[in-house]
Structure 1
């Protein structure tokens, strides 16, 4: 870190905010007074437009339009319409992305399809490879499918991926582009190229990258991708997820959740299933008009940055925020045994910073939250190699440079005072 970043005062940070060409994008959100929100990597902030939009769906489209709104209000096309907007953020073409279901369900669909395609080309490939610290739901879905298909799920460290592919028995490589714990980011294009050279298909989970970092699925020649709608896409708790399949694969193979809206002619009500052409075959059940409307509002907050440089401009601000945070932690908290779990190299860093906390990590975060600074906590295994983590997300749409300064100030106060040791901060809730 540079001395310049280390020496930033709060007034210096306020000056950075005043000069920020993206600063007005914060006005798109309803931010609670007195809250410094650094947890958009878990749940995005409420867009100001969402409440009125959802109310319009409930009171007018549903309340007045009733069933006519499937046509008149375009409910039936929401998965494709919202999917196209998400596609603009992840390097996908029109008609290639579908907003539907949950991340877990979409992963089940694409992993099933990828296994069928890979095994169809080479039945000897019986291994699914993923990163050991991948998000658990991805691993659970992969475990289930490995059992169903008589395959093996192997977990490796991030630096072991390339070497593991060389055995040429891997059917599918399933990775999350930005690791949820550390914020480490894979080079999607390079990893995909290596996988293809080894005859392996790729699945990318974009839960911590869509809306946070520039993504180019088409340029990377990825095979399949899924992602979350409620983190950086600001779609609200439990928002629909999304799914993308490379056009070269989308009409090949099949996905197992062959629900009626994935049918080529759902209102023909055939007793036999004929998949729709293109990404629509990855749709399963009826979309929720309310949650789709909320997700569309969230995605629109990101698209509002397009005239200002879009994801590249947001990425530049995100890195500036995280660089400032790391520098301030090092300068102002050097007397506390915190460690940096997030990469120094900005090229492989997502939009978060995770700090290893060797003692009382959960309580420290609860004490911060009591002071109005909301990050989150992820438990480690109790070793120096995997300590408890304090996670701080930097969402450039609404996070300011003064927020970074104030968050570090609060962390200094919590640790210097030892208040985190109080019993009230050590009572674990159901959601940590």
Structure 2
């Protein structure tokens, strides 16, 4: 009989994996069969096995066989076709409102700048951008740059780094001078899951537009952009959507704003007649007006394989697995890491938690270095945070337990 007081977690992990309705999906990912523990699926997802075949087929058949004809035959519409499917399966967005293209930073710039211009033009006193002090750096840097360009004022929402922007904080920040509110659906540091419906309503009650950053929720947490009456949203596709390194982001613009928002990077692909090569720019109707340059066709192919998996599993089941994984990780942390001085810097309530948890300890930077050498891959976030990203389609409970035991060993070694 084992004398290990944590052996109970082995039985629990086996039972949870045996009962997991999504367990078979793990086999769809390259490397899932290896002993490597991957705790960074919320930064870069594992590649689906089907993607290698998809890319090879595209190179030899579509690109190699059809050449320039591919643009007329399918590539021109690919950003919208994939965008609509993503919207239907994971974003709660009706067709015609989501497009793939550009990086997260570029799309956030376009939509934030467009929203600020529209609101301040309609009401010149609306010159404020509201943003959380602990939002992802690119969001904050963009706000600073756009405010400087447009003579706007930034209203910083001070937040607990173990949480994020909530209703009380947002009510105190918005008012008659607010033009646009930029919010993260899931906080990149803590995993705090914002109440998007309530926060969107608060922004609208103040007369502002709201732009949601969905980078850490798309593909892991159910999203209902149309139901929440969201104005704008942007998210990346290389995390839970497994689009690969540098895969292009997506942009959502509610149909009611298509005719009133003017995006600031006017390129030929967003023109009303792309091949007219006219003397002046006239924006296209609908979501095409939010494109700028040539779509990154090759880079948007991989995410389709994960969309196949999401369609098969259903986003509700994916969320249930995500909650079960993070609940289990917290129980294990309480059992084997808390006695070592490790604390949880994420919400305990699953209704307020996305797909990752952050564990805090002064030695976590060195712990991360040690773990990477041993093929346990979390990531580190100041101050002293080890972020455990659990991708529901590719992470098992046994893998989670193995990784957390390695964290405990590394904390002991570095303390």
Structure 1: how far apart are the matches of 2:230 and 2:8?
Answer: 41
- The aligned residue for residue 376 of structure 2 is 373
Could you list the structure 1 runs, at least 4 aligned residues long, displaced by more than 6 angstroms after superposition. Answer: none
In the alignment, which of 322, 327, 331 is matched to residue 323 of structure 1?
327
Secondary structure (helix, strand or coil) at the match of 2:255 reads coil
The one of 408, 411, 414 equivalent to 1:412 is: 408
Where 1:49 maps in the other structure, the secondary structure is helix
Q: Render the CA deviation track for 1:221-246: whole Å, top value 9, x for unaligned.
A: 01110110111110000001000011
**Residues 87 and 97 in structure 1, CA contact (< 8 A), matched pair in contact too:** yes
Q: Secondary structure at the match of 1:267?
A: coil
Q: Could you tell me how far apart the structure 2 residues matched to 1:394 and 1:219 are?
A: 27
SS in 2 for 1:219: coil
CA distance in 2, matches of 1:262, 1:332: 54
Q: Determine the structure 2 residue equivalent to 1:428.
A: none
Give the whole-Å Cα distance in 2 for the aligned partners of 1:13 and 1:260: 53
**Alpha-carbon distance in structure 2 between the residues aligned to 1:409 and 1:222:** 41
Q: Does 1:265 align with 2:268?
A: no
Aligned to 1:87: 87
TM-score, normalised by the number of residues in structure 1 = 0.90
Tell me how many residue pairs correspond in the alignment: 400
Q: Does 1:335 align with 2:343?
A: no
Tell me, in whole angstroms, the C-alpha distance in 1 between the residues paired with 2:307 and 2:370.
32
**Whole-angstrom distance in 2 between the partners of 1:130 and 1:300:** 34
CA contact (8 A) 2:39 2:390 kept: yes
Whether the 8 Å contact between 1:235 and 1:299 is mirrored in structure 2 is no
User: Is 1:211 aligned to 2:222, yes or no?
Assistant: no
Q: Is the 8 A contact 1:36 1:374 kept in 2?
A: yes
Matches within 5 A, 1:1-400: 8-31=8-31, 33-72=34-73, 74-88=74-88, 89-157=90-158, 158-159=165-166, 160-165=169-174, 167-305=175-313, 310-358=314-362, 360-380=363-383, 388-400=384-396
Is this contact kept in 1: 2:365–2:380, CA < 8 A? yes
User: How much does 1:269 deviate?
Assistant: 1.4
Moved more, 56-65 or 126-135: 56-65
Provide TM-score, normalisation by structure 2. 0.93
Q: Are the aligned partners of 1:57 and 1:289 in contact in 2 as well (CA < 8 Å)?
A: no
* Residue segments in structure 2 that go unaligned for 5+ positions in a row: 1-5, 159-164
CA-CA distance at 1:289 after TM superposition: 2.2
- In the TM superposition, what is the alpha-carbon distance from 1:7 to its structure 2 partner? 7.5
Q: Distance in 2 between matches of 1:121 and 1:28?
A: 50
Query: For residues 135-165 of structure 1, what are the alpha-carbon distances to aligned partners after superposition, in whole Å with 9 as ceiling and x for unaligned?
Result: 1111111111111111012211224222111
CA distance in 1, matches of 2:142, 2:172: 24
In 2: Cα distance, 1:361 partner to 1:410 partner? 13
Mapped partners of 2:65, 2:190: distance in 1: 48
TM-superposed CA distance for 1:98, in Å, is: 0.1
Task: In structure 1, list runs of 5 or more residues that go unmatched.
Answer: 1-5, 381-387, 422-432
* Alpha-carbon distance in structure 1 between the residues aligned to 2:338 and 2:139: 36
Do the aligned residues in 2 keep the contact of 1:91 with 1:218 (CA within 8 Å)?
Answer: yes
The offset of 1:302, in angstroms, is 2.1
